[in-house]
Structure 1
Amino acid sequence: MAKQSNENGRHPVHQGGGYDTVASIATNVADGFRMVAVGDLIVTRPLTKYQGSGFAAIVKILQDADVTFGNMETNIFDIRSFKGSPQAEYGGAYHVSLPELGPDLKAMGFNVVGRANNHALDWGVEGMRETSQALDQNGIAHAGAGESLAQAVAARFLETPRGRVALVSFASSFTPLSRAADPAGEAPGRAGISPLRLAKTTVVLPEMLESLRRIRNALPGFKPSSEDPNRVELSGVTYKTGDTASYSYEADPRDVANILRNVRQGKQFADFCIVTNHGHQPGNWSREPPDYEQSFAHRLIDAGADAYVGHGPHQLRGIEIYKGRSIFYSLGNFIIDDLRTPVGADMFAAYDKDPRVDTDAEVTVNEMARGYETDPGFSDPVFYESIVMVSRFEQKQLAELRLYPIELGRSRRLANRGVPRLAPAPQARAILERLLKLSKPFGTRIAIANDVGVIRLRPSSSL
């Protein structure tokens, strides 16, 4: 029997009927293979013809890769012929793009995108299907959404000259009705996205827990019973004691098993596997990932992932190198060209606007200023600063990461805001120094040379 490994040793062997070996989860790309990854694509129009702001230099980086990934956080369809409708349950805003975005994404260099996120069904199943069709027509591989859970969580593939790439996409932040389901007996399946359900617990100090317990006991309808002295459930929220007030998450074991199986299978049929997660936990205000994510990212890599790409909180989080493979806890925003139109009636109502008086743009500006729930919205400059990540492989191993700082024009007018350009020198260094600080707890060293971050790894013949 093959030996299981420690953190710095060989990858563990999955004992699945005797098929899997260390070789089945090894990176197998040809020398010079390059992967580019960016964060959220919130884009409403074609941009490759846009000559302002230095966007062309960014496009060149995207195009010079074997595989270029982004999180597709919008729908693509023509509102004039669209048969669906804006949903009452939506991801915080209605994201929709012109049909011309499909070929424009391809022209930018994108050839794989993740679909599992909280905006995938803003416009219902009809919007999800039209988006799938637009991506298919332009040869862009996509994963994370489908006609059933089995289709949504399945790996999708891209053929490149230096190796076959698999993509598995799931979301830990999603609207409840967007979760896909498989058939059960006579009941048909449900179209939607691949979910990672999380059970959330609020951590409080012991004296706080006792106050919550007294409140719960005083409420009508409470029936005393034996319980854990370190936990209280109040109005549907679970509280437990800890050293500091925080939030804690536990991933649903059924979703975990389903995702891990599809990662393993994706890698068995590919040379390289990207796994991507869209999650806002614990909130868009946080620069640190939620407490469940690191161990789960490690399990995904042990199952065969060559790179884990997180996005969702709209800002950068740290980078980790685990067993020679990259973990990006959040790549932030890449494009937030959010000229959102049309806007559904529910969103007008949510921001106390009148569609007979106010414009779609005024709703958008109001939403970005207020943010979601207790999050700071897009008033903080860090939401407009991110990186383009370029990884290069030699000898079938990750040899180098290059991190290109970008800024999205926070101070520009709405019609020009959100299109990335390479950040000027002082800002670039500030972005990289912030990322270095966020990555330090993971033991990651980032060198800064000519306003570009560099993480160098020593290729080795062993895994």
Structure 2
Amino acid sequence: MLKKLFLFCQILFLFINVTTYAQLLPEKELDSITELLESYEVKIAAYQTYTVMAVGDIMMGTNFPNVSYLPPPGQHPFKNVMPLLQKANVLFGNLEGTLTDTGENAKNCSDPSKCYSFRSPEAYGTYLQDAGFNVMSIANNHIGDFGDIGIKNTAKTLKKYNIAYAGIFAQESTVFKKDGITYGFCAFAPNKDCLKIQNIKNARRIVRELKEKADVILVSFHGGAEGFEHTHVPRSTERYYGEDRGNVYQFAHELIDEGADLIFGHGPHVSRGFEVYKDRFIAYSLGNFCTYARFNVTGIKGYAPIVAVEIDRSGKFIKGKLYSAKQEDEVYPFMDNTKGALKEIKALSTEDFPENPLVFDEEGNFEPQKGS
């Protein structure tokens, strides 16, 4: 901190003097001082850190099969957690469904009431923007619920609200800037409309190409088996309902080996453990976060963790903090004083990744165990 303050004071002093006396200095001397000022700015940047915040599945309400699955008019999905979310430099979430005003259900369901297809109004994009979301994954099993038009309208809506996205064949990756940092983002899932989590070779290619364009690489995956019995990361290919849901442990490690910096998982609808591997952060599942109706949010499925990861400008993990929020049926997320998500993720992280132990305090702050 003292180094930062000292460098800042030096830069401020130089800036004031250069601004005041610029017209009196010979051009050669002015160029020399400008170069010195720029070098100090680079040194200051090396000490800066950035907060990337992430949450899990978001489905703010659906008008399919009927409007009874939408919240009351004027109810803001993120009202109770928005002050926290807006503290992030970058905020990520998984859009579990579509943002579209048109499109017919693409699933063959004899009984629409038992057909889990999610169609949120396009106007709901403003809620995401209000909360501060910069980037979202649309790689999951619900992006194709309303066919090609649903996918196109979702992409169009996110673009309208200045939210970067990736994960579909038409947008396998994206690059965006925030606070002087260029971020690269890509997303993967085992589903037909998405870039495949099983094709690790292709995923590595995308990360490698992003590394040439961006300072920090964010990766999202939708993978792993679902439900209460699948909170642990097995380090093998997971199958659920006969589907290959990927080997999320291998996927995450190989992409960090390739140059990824932050990896955010979702899909199991329950929280899973955290790991720091090669100074890079992995959340294996952030569970449900903002899912209105049509979701089972009983017990641990109602935990809605919010993770804030502090990184340097190269993407290296500095420290993190886990905030516990929760949901109830047809109740949007709110902060959880019992800290259920923290207790669950702390235990899972310790059990599943003993070779890379993390130390959590009672407030949710965490960092690698010293000497590990």
Superposition TM-score tier, normalisation by shorter sequence = 0.7 to 0.9
Distance change in 2, residues 1:164/1:77 (3 Å):
same
CA RMSD in angstroms, aligned pairs only: 2.7
Does the CA-based 8 Å contact 2:326-2:334 persist in structure 1?
yes
2:276–2:368: 8 Å Cα contact kept in structure 1?
no
Q: Distance in 2 between matches of 1:69 and 1:131?
A: 16
Q: Which amino acid aligns with 1:431?
A: A
Secondary structure in 2 aligned to 1:295?
A: helix
Q: 2:263·2:282 contact (CA, 8 Å) conserved in 1?
A: yes
- Secondary structure (helix, strand or coil) at the match of 1:260 reads helix
1:401 matched residue in structure 2: 320
Higher helix share: 2
Q: 2:346 aligns with which of 411, 436, 455?
A: 436
Asked if 2 retains the 8 angstrom alpha-carbon contact of 1:73 and 1:119, the reply is: yes
Partners of 1:46 and 1:140 lie apart in 2 by: 23
Q: Secondary structure at the match of 2:324?
A: strand
Could you say which residue in structure 1 is the equivalent of 2:195? 194
2:301 aligned residue (366, 383, 389): 383
Structure 1 segment 27-426 matched on structure 2, within 5 A: 31-44=48-61, 50=75, 55-78=78-101, 82=102, 84-89=103-108, 93-145=116-168, 149=169, 151-152=170-171, 154-172=172-190, 174=191, 179=192, 192-196=193-197, 251=198, 255-281=199-225, 285-290=229-234, 291=236, 292-338=247-293, 364=294, 368=295, 378=296, 380-394=298-312, 396=314, 397-410=316-329, 414=330, 417=331, 419-424=332-337
More relative contact order in 1 or in 2 (CA 8 Å, sep 6+)? 1
Q: Contact between 1:282 and 1:289, CA under 8 Å: does it hold in 2? A: no
Structure 1 gaps, min length 5: 1-27, 180-191, 197-250, 339-363, 369-377
Deviation at 1:256, TM superposition (A): 1.6
Aligned length: 299
Q: Which residue of 1 aligns with 2:38?
A: none
Q: CA deviation at 1:269?
A: 0.6
1:6-64 Cα distance to aligned partner (Å, 9 max, x none): xxxxxxxxxxxxxxxxxxxxxx9871211000000111269996479xx5452122111
Report Cα offsets for 1:438-463 as digits up to 9, x if no partner.
Answer: 001313323223xx31112599xxxx
Q: Distance in 1 between matches of 2:366 and 2:182?
A: 25
Contact 2:359 2:369 survives alignment (8 Å) = no
Tell me, yes or no, if the aligned pair for 2:99 and 2:150 is still in contact at 8 Å: yes
Q: Which stretch of structure 1 is more off in the superposition, 437-446 or 299-308?
A: 437-446
The answer on whether the counterparts of 1:48 and 1:56 sit within 8 Å (CA) in structure 2 is: no
**Aligned-partner SS, 1:100:** helix
State the identity as a percent. Answer: 28
Scaled by the length of structure 2, the TM-score of the pair is 0.74
- Whether the aligned pair in 2 keeps the contact of 1:48 and 1:104 (CA below 8 Å) is no
The aligned amino acid for 1:160 is K
Structure 2: segments with no counterpart, 5+ residues: 1-44, 62-69, 237-246
